[in-house]
Amino acid sequence: MDANQQTRANPFGMDADCRNCPKLCETRQQIVHGYGDVGADFLFVGEMPGEGPDRTGVPFTGDERGEALQHVLGLLGLNNSLPTDDEPELENAFLTYLTRCRHPERPPTDEEVGNCDPFLTAEVRMINPEIIVPVGQRPLTTIATEYTTTPAEEFDVSEDHATTVRGRGFEIVPMADPLQQTDAEREAFVEHFLALMDRDYRQTKGRRGR
């Protein structure tokens, strides 16, 4: 974690009482902003908080989907705590979502994703990752639309899982929903990502005296 970083939770001090999506304000317990190492080379982006993150305030924690992702992070050496921890000790990884508030009965609308886009864009710019990992189809479509020249409809998270896509300024490594991955899919992702990590990501960005 960056020497000057004070907290892993919402380290950029983003609005913790955003009211841009009135319907989500009615259903959320809290806003779930990004969490992790602000100097990270690896940025993981999900679609929306589930029941667990809505309770803990930390992306990908507190439920089975979160534990599945945290397990993968542990295999990669990016999580130094148990997959069940609500405040994982992440190093060189940052976790966030397209949208920051939970609706228990539906996915976010395009308008809600658009309302939250400034938060995600700011995190991408401030972290300046080497690799973005869209977790699931919706994040893959959104990230690909914003950061590649390939038409987003050409991407399929099942087919593109554990592959590398060239983005503008960084690489994109799609990940299928960790809760639905087979053992073989999880192993393929870990193997592919470890091979990428073997390249020298230490710290060409200058890590950094922030």
Q: How far apart are alpha carbons 124 and 129 in whole angstroms?
A: 7
Q: What is the pLDDT of residues 64-77, one digit of tens each?
A: 999 999 999 999 99
Domain boundaries, the chain: 27-197
Q: What is the pLDDT of residues 1-55, one digit of tens each?
A: 665 788 999 999 999 999 999 999 999 999 999 999 999 999 999 999 999 999 9
Segments of the chain assigned E as strands:
35-36, 42-46, 93-97, 131-134, 165-166, 171-172
- Per-residue pLDDT, averaged over 91-116, amounts to 97
- Position 207, amino acid: R
27-197 has which CATH code?
Answer: 3.40.470.10
- Per-residue pLDDT, averaged over 98-121, amounts to 97
- Which residues, at least 6 apart from 151, have a Cβ–Cβ distance to it below 8 Å? none
Angle at alpha carbon of residue 40, lines to 51 and 83, rounded to 5°: 40
- Per-residue pLDDT, averaged over 82-89, amounts to 97
Alpha helices by DSSP H, listed for 76-182, are 110-127, 137-147, 157-160
**Residues paired with 131 in a beta bridge:** 42, 171
Residue 199: its pLDDT value, please?
Answer: 81
Residue 3: its pLDDT value, please?
Answer: 56
- Per-residue pLDDT, averaged over 141-155, amounts to 93
Nearest to 96, CA basis, from 37, 155, 154, 137: 37
Residue 5: its pLDDT value, please?
Answer: 83
Q: What is the three-class DSSP state of 8?
A: coil
Residue 17, classified by CB atoms within 10 Å of its CB into exposed (0-12), middle (13-18) or buried (19+), is exposed
Query: What element of type H or E holds 195?
Result: helix 183-197
| pLDDT bucket at 166, cuts 50 / 70 / 90 | very high
Q: What is the pLDDT of residues 172-210, one digit of tens each?
A: 999 999 999 999 999 999 999 999 998 865 544 444 332
Q: What is the three-class DSSP state of 35?
A: strand
Q: Are 58 and 35 in contact (CB under 8 A)?
A: yes
What whole-number percentage of the chain has pLDDT above 90? 87
31 compared with 150, residue with greater pLDDT? 31
- Position 77, amino acid: G
Residue 55: its pLDDT value, please?
Answer: 97
What whole-number percentage of the chain has pLDDT above 70? 93
The answer to whether residue 152 scores a pLDDT higher than 50 is yes
